């Protein structure tokens, strides 16, 4: 069975602070996919990043960076110099490797950036 | 491209009523899914489809039916609405695994069952 744990339910930071959102996953698959999605207050779900299990390179996209560590089954998301527009609920998700690749979502972390 | 569209955006039903939530995508994606989002529970998969004519159950399928007669459309039917089905429903589509398969979501339907 697959499981995604986002232990941080809510985080508040002051604008321009850095913040890291934690994601820990469980799977028996050797090949799998990890995702992060953003859900701003308007409610839509926006895809941010996909990572394959065989690619442990960290990734940086502007103020966003992702740290994937298979040894600790973690896929953490860091926002540098946070902005008010980063306020949202962030979901980590895990996709299986076979067949349809059912995606299991974590319960989300609500980030509030205070001006 | 419109992406993934869902109708209606809001709906109020009485217990026992039935209705269909519409979902359409214009990206020629093979895979489509329905999720429900409840507070503190993330997104849970209701039903999914890997192509026209092929559907299967997800994590929480009871009380819902789906069909997929075309690549573009994937309606979700509530057979006899119950208050426990009060939720926000998201439809998503994606390419196959080999093409990346990140999901693109519709704007959601907020359903209240009284």
CA angle A29, A32, A38 (to 5 degrees): 135
Average pLDDT (A65-93) is: 95
Q: Render the burial of B88-113: b for 16+ CB within 10 Å, e for the rest.
A: ebbbbbbbebeeebbbbbbbbbbbeb
CA distance B31 to B105: 12
- Scanning B8-67 for CB atoms below 8 A from A yields 31, 33, 35, 40-45, 48, 50, 56, 58
Can you tell me whether residue A35 is helix, strand or coil?
Answer: strand
Dump pLDDT digits (tens) for A95-111. 876 666 678 899 999 99
> Are A45 and B48 within 8 A, CB to CB?
no
Cβ proximity of A110 and A11 under 8 Å: yes
Dump pLDDT digits (tens) for A8-64. 999 999 999 999 999 999 998 888 889 999 999 999 999 999 888 888 888 888 999
Dump pLDDT digits (tens) for B22-74. 999 999 998 999 999 998 888 999 999 989 999 999 989 999 999 999 999 99
CA distance A18 to A67: 14
CA distance B42 to B28: 27
A45 in B contact zone (CB under 8 Å): yes
pLDDT value at residue A98: 65
Cβ proximity of B94 and B78 under 8 Å: no
pLDDT value at residue A101: 64
Whole-number Cα distances in Å, A52 to A97, B19, B25, B66, B107: 10, 38, 25, 30, 27
pLDDT value at residue B100: 60
> Are B88 and A101 within 8 A, CB to CB?
no
pLDDT value at residue A100: 66
> Are A43 and B88 within 8 A, CB to CB?
yes
The two tokens of residue A46 are: 């926006």
């Amino acid at each position: 069975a697959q499981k995604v744990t986002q232990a941080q339910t809510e985080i508040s930071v002051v604008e321009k602070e850095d913040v890291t959102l934690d994601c820990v996953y469980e799977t028996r698959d050797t090949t799998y996919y990890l995702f992060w999605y953003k859900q701003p207050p308007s409610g839509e779900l926006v895809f941010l990043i996909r990572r394959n299990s065989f690619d442990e390179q960290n990734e940086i996209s502007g103020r966003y960076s992702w740290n994937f560590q298979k040894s600790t089954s973690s896929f953490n998301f860091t926002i540098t110099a946070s902005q008010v527009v980063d306020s949202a609920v962030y979901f980590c998700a895990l996709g299986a490797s076979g067949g349809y690749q059912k995606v299991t979502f974590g319960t989300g972390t609500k980030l509030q950036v205070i001006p | 491209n419109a992406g993934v569209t869902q109708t209606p955006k809001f709906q109020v039903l009485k217990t026992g009523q039935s209705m269909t939530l519409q979902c359409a995508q214009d990206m020629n994606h093979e895979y489509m899914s329905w999720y429900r989002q409840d507070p503190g529970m993330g997104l849970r998969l209701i039903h999914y489809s890997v192509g026209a004519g092929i559907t299967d159950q997800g994590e929480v399928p009871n009380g819902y039916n789906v069909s997929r007669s075309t690549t573009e459309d994937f309606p979700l039917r509530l057979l006899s609405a119950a208050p426990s089905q009060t939720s926000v429903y998201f439809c998503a589509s994606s390419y196959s695994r080999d093409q990346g398969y990140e999901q693109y979501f519709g704007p959601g339907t907020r359903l209240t069952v009284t």
